[in-house]
Chains A and B, each alone.
Chain A
Amino acid sequence: MTAPLRDLRAERAADAGMWLFLASLVMLYAGLFSGYVLLRAGSDTWTTPWREASLWWSMPLSHLAWLAASAAAAWRWRVGHPSGSGQQHPIFWWLPLVAAFVASLNWLRAASALAGAGHAPATSVAAASWFVLTGFVATGIVGGGVAVGWLAWRHRGGAPPAHVARQVQRYWTVLAACWLSIVVGMYLW
């Protein structure tokens, strides 16, 4: 009787820990974005060169796809396994990761186009904001990717436990939601 109780406690701790970590992550992005808002609102000469690049809409679109993939994975897990036990199809592990990878590639394309057009970070606060805010997601993606890769290696030959999958999906969903908020804010304002 002891082992299941222990597992439930560990799962509850992991749930709490992940939510706390995500709250901290949201505050980090909120800090970065509030800096952008304050600088943007206080400037009379603000420019948005990232909106002048070709295919500029592909940035928010690819992030929207990322958010959708993460949300679909999280939703699928909830619908499929409301009791918290059991496994899910591996595609719902990899879908958010693939979507995040595509979004990152899109960022690399946009960043090189922006720098190539003479808008390097040191040229203006606006360009610096774009590079810092959008570039910082790379840390989150790399961190999440490493975690997923490590989990996949650790559970090679079998699917990871459902509660682990739940944490991973939460991470990608919140990261994608934060990121989409920032991208939409920067591209529409």
Chain B
Amino acid sequence: MRALTDHKSLGITYGITAGVFMLVGFLLMLLFRWQLAWPGQPIPIATAIFGETNAPGGILLPEFYYQLVAMHGSVMIFLAVVPLLTGALGSYLVPLQIGAAGLAFPRLSRLGYLLFLAAGLLMSASFALPGGAPNSGWTSYPPLAILASSGQTVWLVGVLTLGASAMLGAVSLVATVVAYRAPGLTLMRLPFFVWSQAVTAVLLLLSFPPLQAAAIFQLMDRAAGTSFFLPSGLAVSNVPLEVSGGGNPLLWQHLFWFLAHPEVYVLVLPAMGIVAEVLTAHARRNLWRYGLMVGAVVGLGAWSMVVWAHHMYLTGMGTTLSSFFQITTMTVSVPSVILITCLIVTLWGGAIRFTTAMLFALAFLPMFGIGGVTGLPLGLAPTNLVLHDTYYVIGHFHYLVAPGTMFALFAAVYHWFPKMTGRRLHEGLGVVHFIGSFVTMNAVFLPMFFMGLMGVNRRLYDGGLQYELAAPTLAWNATMTWSAVALGLFQLVFVWNLVRSARHGAPAENPWRATTLEWATASPPPAGNFVETPVVTGHPYRYEEGEA
């Protein structure tokens, strides 16, 4: 336990824990994708694992299907991707990149990890409760969520705990950047990754509390019989609910999306930071317009907090409010485009080395681009009315998070693995991993755009079997599911590469000849990180001064 006060041990522990949760989330996805591909067909050994109440005869019941979907979203976002980006990479790399010996508040950071672990175990254990895990989606919209089984209560407690965990980690990280930078390391000399992590931490600090407030309200509705989200006259199966009523379900949506939209940027900004570090090192070019990029990432973080209601056009918010959020949503794409443009121009004239890290970082650009561009129609109310609740939304979101952020995470692992272990990952296996992931991820998510454009709803238990409009797309579901299976198999190559290279990989101190501070110390770094406190005299990126 004491080892977790060391930021390197903490980062690696975060990484392993979040990786396990990601595996859980992936397996949940495979289960419900089976149901989508082959509706009503029994899954071998499903009854033995999930019991007769969830999968009689191996066939997933609708109630269980929705538990799988809700938990897939919750696990992937709250327990896997965000902790990987912030808890793992942020904790490990930020102190190294600013020349610090550790985090400002190591015990607070450790407490943050323990709360994250507790929340994850609690939410996962909800499958064992009577009624099972939460089944109201990761968005947990009331009044459905208030009427749901006891798993929803556990989900709410988990969200409250995760909020506290995120707050502790974010406070420690930003305080580290504020107070423990190496001499000479001014704000405009910080590596871009540090900027992206700091903005992300501030976003978490400011946007998570309103969701916690909403979770408190919903917990009160479920446990104390209040009606914050329950309107008057509500009846279930024609039986009036015995509650006071007078509440408003839309209140939840406002408070939820006030977190959940910035949460998208919590997923994207660190990914941008990773890709910037990898591109600049592997193309031997300094970041193009570093100052502009810093301004863009700060602006993107700030602006992301005033766009939340574009998720709510269908609620009839009126043209004035709708116009406001359409304008803010369109303009939030400007800093995103600035960032992508700067990253692309950075490559111009570079001595590009197509390492595995670079391949993943390069692939991030078009994947994120697809995710971003397909978001524009969703940001405009007229097109949103048509596309909302279709598979188009699922495709859009996953392009940002799966081929987008996940590719950045893979790039980070290939780039910084030598820093963490002193050994390189095998490049041949890495290329196989990259090609396999690139092809299969696109095969899983690209058809979703076409399904959505054809009007297929995203919440159908049978994949659209009962709707004529979905008939042409039914065969795609099987292809997407097989692609998801193949995607999982290619990750086995990655895991094998990690395990093998940790012991037998080629020794490497600074294989990319990168110039940021984390590479100025030994690989792996010793206790205290630096033998002598480094003194910074210039820009973090010095790839055009002859070192290359």
Contacts and interface: CB of A to CB of B under 8 A. Distances in A.
Given A13-B105, A16-B174, A39 B251 contact: yes
B224 to A, nearest CB: 6
A125 B227 contact: yes
Contacts of A43: 246
A128 B226 contact: yes
B217 interface: yes
B210 A31 contact: yes
A122 B224 contact: yes
Nearest to A14: B175
Interface stretch (A19-27, A105-113, A153-161): A19-27
Contacts of B220: 121, 128, 132
A24 B206 contact: yes
Interface in A33-49: 34-35, 38-39, 42-43, 45
Nearest to A37: B251
A122 B225 contact: yes
A181 B213 CA distance: 17
Interface string B99-126: 0000011001000000000000000000
B298 interface: no
Given A20-B171, A35-B217, A35-B255, A27 B180 contact: no
B239 interface: no
B161 to A, nearest CB: 14
B104 A125 contact: no
B314 to A, nearest CB: 18
A27 B171 contact: no
B226 A9 contact: no
B351 interface: no
A23 B205 contact: yes
Contacts of A126: 246
Nearest to B232: A45
Interface in A4-19: 9-10, 12-14, 16-17
B206 to A, nearest CB: 5
B93 to A, nearest CB: 18
A35 B214 contact: yes
Contacts of A128: 220, 224, 226-228
Contacts of B499: none
B246 A132 contact: no
Interface in B133-187: 167, 170-172, 174-176, 178-180
B213 A17 contact: no
A96 B225 CA distance: 35
Given A24-B206, A122-B243, A12 B212 contact: no
A122 B171 CA distance: 36
A13 B213 contact: no
Given A122-B224, A125-B226, A125-B228, A32 B216 contact: yes
Taking residues whose C-beta sits less than 8 angstroms from the other chain, chain B's interface range is 35 or more
Contacts of A122: 224-227, 243-244
A124 B226 CA distance: 7
B223 to A, nearest CB: 10
Interface string B250-268: 1100110010000000000
User: Is chain A's binding surface mostly helix, strand, loop or mixed?
Assistant: helix
A57 interface: no
A75 interface: no
A25 to B, nearest CB: 8
A34 B170 contact: no
Contacts of A121: 220, 224-226
A123 interface: yes
B463 to A, nearest CB: 37
B516 interface: no
B179 A12 contact: yes
A151 to B, nearest CB: 16
B455 interface: no
Contact of A21 (B167, B179, B180, B217): B167
Contact of B178 (A12, A34, A35, A124): A12
Interface in A119-136: 121-126, 128-129, 132, 136
A132 B216 contact: yes
A58 to B, nearest CB: 26
A28 B206 contact: no
A146 interface: no
Contacts of B73: none
A26 to B, nearest CB: 8
A35 B227 contact: no
Contacts of B174: 16-17, 20
B105 A27 contact: no
B436 interface: no
A133 to B, nearest CB: 10
A98 interface: no
B156 to A, nearest CB: 14
Contacts of B369: none
Interface in B304-332: none
Most interface-central of A39, A124, A125 (chain B CB within 10 A): A125
A35 B205 contact: no
Most interface-central of B172, B217, B243 (chain A CB within 10 A): B217
B209 interface: yes
A173 to B, nearest CB: 19
B246 A13 contact: no
Given A17-B172, A24-B167, A121-B224, A39 B247 contact: yes
Contacts of B210: 27-28, 30-31, 34
B515 interface: no
B43 to A, nearest CB: 41
A10 B105 CA distance: 9
B272 to A, nearest CB: 22
A184 to B, nearest CB: 19
A20 B217 contact: no
Contacts of A136: 216
Nearest to B225: A122
Contacts of B244: 122-125
Interface of A: 9-10, 12-14, 16-17, 20-21, 23-25, 27-28, 30-32, 34-35, 38-39, 42-43, 45, 121-126, 128-129, 132, 136
14 contacts: A10-B104, A17-B171, A17-B175, A24-B167, A27-B209, A28-B210, A28-B212, A28-B213, A38-B248, A122-B227, A122-B243, A125-B244, A129-B228, A132-B226
Given A28-B212, A31-B211, 4 more contacts: A31-B210, A31-B212, A125-B246, A129-B228
**Nearest 4 pairs between A and B by C-beta?**
A31-B213, A31-B210, A28-B209, A13-B179
